[in-house]
Chain A
Amino acid sequence: MDASNSTAGRLQLFVTEDESGSPVVTARGDIDITTVEQLHASLLAQAEAPRTPSDIVLDLSGVEFFGSVALDPMLRTRDVLSTHQARLHVVVTDQIHRSLNILGLTHLFVLHSDLRDAVDALRTA
């Protein structure tokens, strides 16, 4: 798991697991054209990992800048997961929620306003 942690540049990524073993990808900092590749690598590594398919949590609550480029890895991850009937849970700030709203993409992810909600949702799923 440590290999997918990344603290380079202005985006920090940490990968942990919740009690049920579902991956939780935590992002802090800026997701823009220069850092989106890290998010891409980290999310796809989890989505394509050879294990029992499970939902993934992407925690964006510590993200200061959420560029629309971030949607590219998020949509890809969603596509990969949906082939296993798994879902991408995203913890969003109000700002990110507004961005997703403008993009008209809120219904494509399971959105939560804090990490506890997201983990609870995984447990009850």
Chain B
Amino acid sequence: MTTGSRKALRAEAADASVLGDEAASTGHELLAQAHLRVDLAIDISSALAGSLNLRRTVLRLLDLITPRMADWAMLVLVDDADGLALHGGADPTFTTTTPRPFVEGTGLDRVLRSGHDELLHVALELDSTGALATMIPNPRLRDEAVELRPADVLCLALTARGSTIGALVLIRGAGRGFPEEEVEFARLIADQASMALDSARLYEERSRIASVLQASLRPPVLPTIPGARVSARFRPAAEHLEIGGDFYDVHGSKDDWLLVLGDVCGKGVEAAVLTGRARQSIQTAMHFDRRPSAILAVLNNVLCDDDSSRFVTVVCARVRPSADGTSAAVDIAVAGHPPPIVVHANGEVGQVDVAGMAAGVIRDVDYTEVRIDIASGDTLLMFTDGVDEARGSQGFYGMDRLLGMLPAYAGAGPVALCEAVEQSVVEHLDGRAHDDIALLAVSCER
């Protein structure tokens, strides 16, 4: 900002400031000042109430404070990483950070530690840099403040939920300061600002936590399996969080792979936590015993160990493609999950005959495991109940409809098969709400 524009700002501020026009002595002037204060208080509370975006809240606050309450304002926010974020100054969009140790022993540090406001008188005749430096730990901001030649620097603690989250440093230019009643008014504004800033920060923190967790629960990128082709589709229920519900994973290496598709009972954060636990338990269990029945037994006991009555349904398929890619041995076990379907190359379609109890209900369950061989052109399709329980105007999608549409896709391969099933279910839904829909298919590479 140029010197010229700063002068303009001062001139405007002198006309409209609600803070400490010491010369305002007539009743008329005092009344006008009181009006301005009320207006400002209302403006600030309404402007800050709606925002849950921290950056926007900071900008609004600075915009409201200058020039009506002060000629220059700097907002200090304590961040988690033991630093201080400095916002504002002559340019409200200016922002920088300072490590917390840099301010140790300064006036700002005192305010942040104690939560008590401080009003420092700045010696006008002498070099004021030292007095201002104790509240403004940044050279650029400090130089701006020095140039304004303030009489006082007011540092207000911003306190919310019992802890000091930052400070608001205010300066009025041209040798003016802050009389006592103006400090009180500034205190009120600071309290409102603290709450708004704290809410915005809390909200951003939560959003960040949610998005980090969400990223860890998102469906994985499918690996390339030598001698086999794999495809998956996931269509989350629109009205819920994109976490929880259905999941799938593909683990393994070389010629021994584990395909997992599951459904967690319920939705929301608790379901998401359970999804994460189930996926990790399966991944860990397979390092000890790769048989699907053994993996499900471990998963079941792990889930039984917590008190929640929630359960998980899982289909687990161990796929071992032959070296020439013409067949694969597949071992399958299910825990309360619909058994997978084999779509043979000749159009024959059948559901694998295997059953087992949902995981997480009763300890020490033995899971049965069946072995099937799929040949070139056959596809094994795993699905969640979001498919057969999809409900359109004509009722449920149902297993019959699913089994009925599949022969047409014999030999089409996993990608086309998953696409066709998803499309068929979506058409059946005809825009209606649905549960998570997940599909996972595998075939030998021809």
Contact present for A105 and B313 (CB under 8 Å): no
Contact present for B389 and A105 (CB under 8 Å): no
Cβ contact of A101, chosen from B265, B310, B335, B355, cutoff 8 A: B355
Q: Write the chain B residue with the least CB distance to A103.
A: B336
B30-38, B87-95, B356-364 - interface stretch: B356-364
Contact present for A75 and B355 (CB under 8 Å): no
Contact present for A68 and B385 (CB under 8 Å): yes
Q: Write the chain A residue with the least CB distance to B384.
A: A68
Contact present for B385 and A75 (CB under 8 Å): no
What residues of B have a CB within 8 angstroms of the CB of A65 in the complex?
Answer: 389, 391
What residues of A have a CB within 8 angstroms of the CB of B266 in the complex?
Answer: 33, 69, 72
Give Cα A31–Cα B313 distance, bound, in whole angstroms: 18
Contact present for B311 and A104 (CB under 8 Å): no
Give Cα A75–Cα B338 distance, bound, in whole angstroms: 20
Q: Would you give the 0/1 interface string for A35-79, flagging 1 where the beta carbon is closer than 8 Å to chain B? A: 000000000000000000000000000000101110110011001
Give Cα A79–Cα B362 distance, bound, in whole angstroms: 11
Q: Write the chain B residue with the least CB distance to A68.
A: B265
Is the CB of A108 closer than 8 A to any CB of chain B?
Answer: yes
Interface of A is mostly: helix
Contact present for A108 and B361 (CB under 8 Å): yes
What residues of B have a CB within 8 angstroms of the CB of A75 in the complex?
Answer: 309, 311, 361
Residues of B in contact (CB 8 Å), total 23
A30–chain B nearest beta-carbon distance, Å? 9
Cβ contact of B358, chosen from A69, A79, A105, cutoff 8 A: A105
Give Cα A108–Cα B311 distance, bound, in whole angstroms: 14
Question: Contact size class for A?
Answer: 10 to 19
B369–chain A nearest beta-carbon distance, Å? 14
B374–chain A nearest beta-carbon distance, Å? 22
Interface of B is mostly: loop
- Which residues of chain B in 253-285 are interfacial with respect to chain A, using CB atoms and an 8 Å cutoff? 263, 265-267
Contact present for A104 and B355 (CB under 8 Å): yes
Contact flag A103-B358 (CB < 8 Å), given A68-B265, A69-B265, A72-B265 = yes
What residues of A have a CB within 8 angstroms of the CB of B361 in the complex?
Answer: 75, 105, 108
Contact flag A102-B310 (CB < 8 Å), given A33-B266, A69-B266 = no
Contact present for A104 and B357 (CB under 8 Å): yes
Give Cα A72–Cα B307 distance, bound, in whole angstroms: 12
- Which residues of chain A in 71-125 are interfacial with respect to chain B, using CB atoms and an 8 Å cutoff? 71-72, 75-76, 79, 101-105, 108
Q: Write the chain B residue with the least CB distance to A99.
A: B385
Give Cα A102–Cα B388 distance, bound, in whole angstroms: 13
Give Cα A88–Cα B311 distance, bound, in whole angstroms: 19
Give Cα A72–Cα B385 distance, bound, in whole angstroms: 16
The interface of chain A, by Cβ under 8 A from chain B, is: 33, 65, 67-69, 71-72, 75-76, 79, 101-105, 108
Closest 3 CB pairs of A and B: A104-B357, A103-B336, A103-B358
- Could you list 23 examples of A-B contacts with CB < 8 Å? A33-B435, A67-B389, A67-B435, A68-B263, A68-B265, A68-B385, A71-B358, A72-B265, A72-B309, A75-B361, A79-B309, A101-B355, A102-B336, A102-B338, A102-B355, A103-B357, A103-B358, A104-B356, A104-B358, A105-B336, A105-B358, A108-B361, A108-B362
